A and B are shown apart, each in its own frame.
Chain A
Amino acid sequence: MADTRVIRLPTPSPPSLSAPSSYEPHGDEHTPLIIDNGSTTLRFGFATSDTPRTSSNIVAKYKERKQGRQLLLFGDAVDVESGAKAQGKTPWEGDVLLNFDAMEHAMDYTFIQLGIDTPTVDHPILMTERLASPLHSRALTSELMFELYSVPSLAYAVDAPMSFYHNNGAKPADGLVVSFNTASTSVIPMLAGKGIMSQAKRIPWGAQHSAEYLLKLIQLKYPTFSTRVTSAQTSWMLHSFCEVSPDYLSLLRKLRDPNQLRAVERIVQFPFVLPTIEERTEEELARIADRRREQGKKLQELAAKARLEKLVQKENDVQYLTNLKERKGTEGKREWQNLLQSEGFSDDVALDQAIKKLEADLKRTRKKEVEGDDVIEEPSFPLVDVPDADLDEESLKEKRKQKLMKAGFEARARARREKEKEREEREADEKRDEQDRERDPSAWTRKLRDEHQSLLSRMKERSRRKVALTDRKSAASQARMKNIASLAADDRVPKKRRKNGGEDMFGADDADWAIYRKINTGAPSSDEEDDLLQLQTVEQKLLMHDPTFGDEHTHAAMTSQRSAFMSAFRPQYEDGDVEGHARIHLSIERWRVCEAYFSPSMAGVDCAGLGEVLQNVLTTFSMADRGRLVNNVFLTGAPAQVPGLVDRLHATLRPILPPEMPLQIVRAADPALDAWRGMADFAKTEEFKSVGVSRAEYEEWGAERIRRWWGGNWNASV
């Protein structure tokens, strides 16, 4: 199906070289430097620019194999070298900043890109940190900045309130900020422009988890997919296709219908390689056939030559031995014996036997060449009929040999005759069948159909019995246990018979042993195979002669039937369809993945969903405050761009609030970059100077303490 819905994976474009900007404008200005240190992307720039420079937050220190050079790559550049991608390290591990070597390299990159060439970084810095960041992370970042780069002052902000600040015209406002990050989703209430961090809550489910969930669902749906789906491709699929549905349950009910399912599915076409069929032309085929024939002929010639040689050899041998025998007459007895010994014969008789064998061989081969290959001659057994007493020792041996040969010969003849008889019988059956069919077709088809049905029911019965046997409590397995117990019991024979001297007569009658077939569940019985063969022949006949019996009635078709829903959910492509096999169909997964924000237990994370958390946070405030918060629900963070989120939150929050309370949900103007912009706005105000930690304060307090302000964390703050 040449679908317009089939979407190919995008080919990645190589990263471009970005030159470092010139440092001139900021030379001695002490312009604040804003760094939004995110789990996925690093955004940095001076406070005076409108947009930050962005780069994904991966560092790779890699030794290139071809030239043996050490490379240090950052961000999108890591994609250039595939080996580097495997060794890429991020400073963040999920939600927590842990890897400081990587952090150092990232900071180096930012400062190099900004073109700083002074001996210290002489700008006040405003950096982001995670909501309620662990003190270890903060301590190490502070240490890095102050000791290694000697910055004059450092302030920490939480990204979401800064985005809120930017979107509300850079003045204090009320609102409930929902921040969607890579590895977590947080809810932060803001009253009078101040972040109430003690009532903030964090859900450990973010865009990274969503991507992993999508990948897992795809792997479960397509366990034998030919290519490996990378996480970059999964993120692309997540961004392009996944949405939040405003009412998940009604959506599910709608999608029970296979047609609806097909209407919403998206098909992603992965790159595939067509198998190269070597098309040999006619001439090539003819040439190959000729070559093969010639080789065959050559072999035949060689074989004939070899046979001829052997024949000649044998004739020579016979001649030689007969000569030898003739010499017997001329030599003396002892010399004759010595001669024989030297030739390898123990005595006269052995010599005679050898001559006789060689002559018989020669005769046979000569006859073969004359007559052709299979000559079935009736071997004669003269000695068999002669009674034993008349024969001497040697002839007795001969007689025994001949008896064996005769028995073998007769057995083979008998087997041949029986086979012929069977064949004749079968032909007679078929002929009778044909006559029946021609005489009365409907009756014949009815008979066959009955047979078909009975075979099917027998097979079904057998499979049902097998399933029942696995269940310990079913009647079939209890009956089996009873049989086993009775077989193994000490008192098998009823008392009466034993008194009269009866013994256990099990096994006298051959049918007794059939009980072991019933008990032994493991062995596949030959009955099933016989049934299957018979079924096949019956079906063949029906297919040929009965117009109403189609392919769909055959046993094979019925067992492999899939419901209409499953074929819409996971369409099967034929075996040769390489293109089809490299496709992924996403239908229910498009909403299922994002639904996990609202109920993470779907994906195994034991946590409340976004709706419940919002409810919990709101209940900790008074009604008046709640009104102020709900009037401005603000969504920020790059994953907040998923479609359908606003409607869903509306549907979640509206029922839990009093009807007259106005509810407004707003998404940030630019969810990914607004946090940086908010920080840039803030850095231009006077207040900025008072929220940072200066160098002196750092040395006095240590790395963990910060100043408490409206946009920063509260832990270990003054």
Chain B
Amino acid sequence: MPPKGSTRKKPSAVPSAEGSATPQVPSLAEQLSYLHLARPFKNPNYTKNTNRRTKNLKTVLGQERERERQERERRRGEKEQEMEVDGEAHEPTAEEDLPSYLSIEAPPSVLPQKHYCDITGLEAPYTDPVTGLRYHDKSIYELIKGLTTSAAKDYLSARGVNPIVK
């Protein structure tokens, strides 16, 4: 099996007049790089639309939401039209709600949440009124009293509570 490097252009040999004899050995990274390998399977006529920016997640999800809304409205419009035309109650077509990326997301939990200690992870029956951290027992409370406000905020952000203090 010929090594990958063989399809690359060989690095130009140093002219002997200069005296340095060793040819450059391509480093591992260069051997792994496939920038210069031939890609015959690509269609040279296709130019990617380079003006198109890579959309970020927010815009893509926004687009999905828009599309879904339009679908729903369109369907509602159709149903109304049908009802008007027929003048009788029409069986709603058993059209399953097409799942989209957003509709498939699980809803927030309805079960009561257990409180866990922010410092240790054990159960936390108590909460510190000053910082809002939950703690397991009084020795941990001593520790919490000694925390700086930024450290306390870090613990809270691990739980997802981000207090914004002006």
Residues of A within 8 A of B (CB): 14-15, 17, 19-20, 22, 61, 64, 69-74, 77, 80-81, 84, 93-94, 96, 98-101, 104, 108-109, 111-112, 116-121, 130-137, 147-150, 186, 197-198, 200-204, 213, 216-217, 219-220, 223, 249, 252-253, 255-256, 562-563, 565-566, 569, 588-589, 592, 599, 601-609, 612-613, 616, 713-717
A98-B160 contact in complex given A202-B105, A252-B123, A601-B113, C-beta closer than 8 Å: no
A608-B159 contact in complex given A108-B34, A132-B100, A602-B116, C-beta closer than 8 Å: no
B119 contacts which chain A residues (CB < 8 A)?
A: 220
**B122 and A255 contact, CB distance less than 8 A:** yes
**A256 and B122 contact, CB distance less than 8 A:** yes
Beyond the given pairs A204-B105, A562-B139, 11 more chain A to chain B contacts, judged by CB atoms under 8 angstroms and listed by A's residue number, are: A81-B29, A96-B57, A136-B55, A147-B46, A148-B42, A149-B41, A203-B106, A220-B154, A605-B160, A606-B109, A714-B96
Q: In the complex the two chains form, what is the Cα distance from A388 to B154 in whole Å? A: 79
| Other-chain residue from A17, A69, A186, A198 in contact with B98 (beta carbon distance below 8 A) | A198
A714 contacts which chain B residues (CB < 8 A)?
A: 96, 98-99
A201 contacts which chain B residues (CB < 8 A)?
A: 104-106
Q: In the complex the two chains form, what is the Cα distance from A186 to B100 in whole Å? A: 14
Minimum Cβ distance to chain B for residue A567 (Å): 10
A14 contacts which chain B residues (CB < 8 A)?
A: 28
A112-B60 contact in complex given A588-B121, A602-B159, C-beta closer than 8 Å: no
Residue of A nearest to B103 (CB): A132
Minimum Cβ distance to chain A for residue B110 (Å): 7
**A72 and B101 contact, CB distance less than 8 A:** no
18 contacts between A and B (CB under 8 A): A20-B4, A69-B33, A77-B29, A80-B32, A118-B41, A133-B101, A134-B63, A148-B42, A149-B41, A198-B97, A201-B104, A202-B105, A217-B121, A256-B136, A602-B116, A607-B109, A608-B110, A717-B98
A563 contacts which chain B residues (CB < 8 A)?
A: 137, 139-140
B57 contacts which chain A residues (CB < 8 A)?
A: 93-94, 96, 98
**B104 and A100 contact, CB distance less than 8 A:** no
Could you tell me which residues of chain B, from 72 to 98, have a CB within 8 Å of some CB in chain A? 96-98
A72-B35 contact in complex given A220-B154, A602-B159, C-beta closer than 8 Å: yes
**A588 and B54 contact, CB distance less than 8 A:** no
Q: Decide if the interface of chain B is mainly helix, strand, loop or mixed.
A: loop
**B101 and A116 contact, CB distance less than 8 A:** no
Q: In the complex the two chains form, what is the Cα distance from A592 to B136 in whole Å? A: 15
Residue B61 CB within 8 A of the other chain: yes
Minimum Cβ distance to chain A for residue B85 (Å): 26
| Other-chain residue from B43, B55, B113 in contact with A150 (beta carbon distance below 8 A) | B43
Interface string of B129-151 (1 = CB under 8 A from A): 00000001101100100000001
Residue B69 CB within 8 A of the other chain: no
**B64 and A603 contact, CB distance less than 8 A:** no
**B60 and A98 contact, CB distance less than 8 A:** yes
A562 contacts which chain B residues (CB < 8 A)?
A: 139
Minimum Cβ distance to chain B for residue A588 (Å): 4
Minimum Cβ distance to chain B for residue A254 (Å): 10
Minimum Cβ distance to chain A for residue B143 (Å): 7
Count A/B pairs, Cβ under 8 Å.
215
B54 contacts which chain A residues (CB < 8 A)?
A: 98-101
| Other-chain residue from A72, A119, A132, A204 in contact with B99 (beta carbon distance below 8 A) | A132
Residue B19 CB within 8 A of the other chain: no
Minimum Cβ distance to chain A for residue B51 (Å): 13
A566 contacts which chain B residues (CB < 8 A)?
A: 139-140, 143
A17 contacts which chain B residues (CB < 8 A)?
A: 3-4, 28, 31-32
Residue B39 CB within 8 A of the other chain: yes
| Other-chain residue from A98, A203, A715 in contact with B100 (beta carbon distance below 8 A) | A715
**B99 and A607 contact, CB distance less than 8 A:** no
| Other-chain residue from A101, A149, A252 in contact with B121 (beta carbon distance below 8 A) | A252
Q: In the complex the two chains form, what is the Cα distance from A19 to B5 in whole Å? A: 10
Residue of B nearest to A121 (CB): B41
**A601 and B109 contact, CB distance less than 8 A:** yes
A20 contacts which chain B residues (CB < 8 A)?
A: 4
Q: Using C-beta atoms within 8 Å of the partner chain, give the interface range for chain B.
A: 35 or more
A116 contacts which chain B residues (CB < 8 A)?
A: 40-41
B107 contacts which chain A residues (CB < 8 A)?
A: 607-608, 616
**A71 and B121 contact, CB distance less than 8 A:** no
Residue of A nearest to B118 (CB): A220
Residue of B nearest to A611 (CB): B111
Residue B161 CB within 8 A of the other chain: yes
The 9 closest A-B pairs by CB, nearest first: A604-B160, A563-B139, A72-B35, A77-B32, A71-B33, A588-B121, A608-B109, A19-B1, A592-B121
Residue of B nearest to A114 (CB): B41
Q: In the complex the two chains form, what is the Cα distance from A93 to B60 in whole Å? A: 11
A249 contacts which chain B residues (CB < 8 A)?
A: 114, 123
| Other-chain residue from A22, A98, A137, A223 in contact with B56 (beta carbon distance below 8 A) | A98
Of B56, B64, B97, chain A has the most CB atoms within 10 Å of the CB of B64
Q: In the complex the two chains form, what is the Cα distance from A202 to B104 in whole Å? A: 6
Residue of B nearest to A564 (CB): B139
**A108 and B39 contact, CB distance less than 8 A:** yes
Q: In the complex the two chains form, what is the Cα distance from A485 to B82 in whole Å? A: 79
Residue of B nearest to A217 (CB): B158
Residue B70 CB within 8 A of the other chain: no
| Other-chain residue from A101, A137, A147, A592 in contact with B60 (beta carbon distance below 8 A) | A137
Minimum Cβ distance to chain B for residue A471 (Å): 10
**A109 and B32 contact, CB distance less than 8 A:** no
| Other-chain residue from B29, B43, B48, B55 in contact with A73 (beta carbon distance below 8 A) | B29
**A134 and B61 contact, CB distance less than 8 A:** yes
Residue B14 CB within 8 A of the other chain: no
Q: In the complex the two chains form, what is the Cα distance from A80 to B65 in whole Å? A: 41
A111-B122 contact in complex given A94-B57, A603-B158, A605-B160, C-beta closer than 8 Å: no
**B41 and A109 contact, CB distance less than 8 A:** no
**A19 and B2 contact, CB distance less than 8 A:** yes
**A569 and B60 contact, CB distance less than 8 A:** no
Q: In the complex the two chains form, what is the Cα distance from A131 to B3 in whole Å? A: 39
B55 contacts which chain A residues (CB < 8 A)?
A: 98, 136
Residue B15 CB within 8 A of the other chain: no
Q: In the complex the two chains form, what is the Cα distance from A200 to B61 in whole Å? A: 19
A98 contacts which chain B residues (CB < 8 A)?
A: 54-57, 60
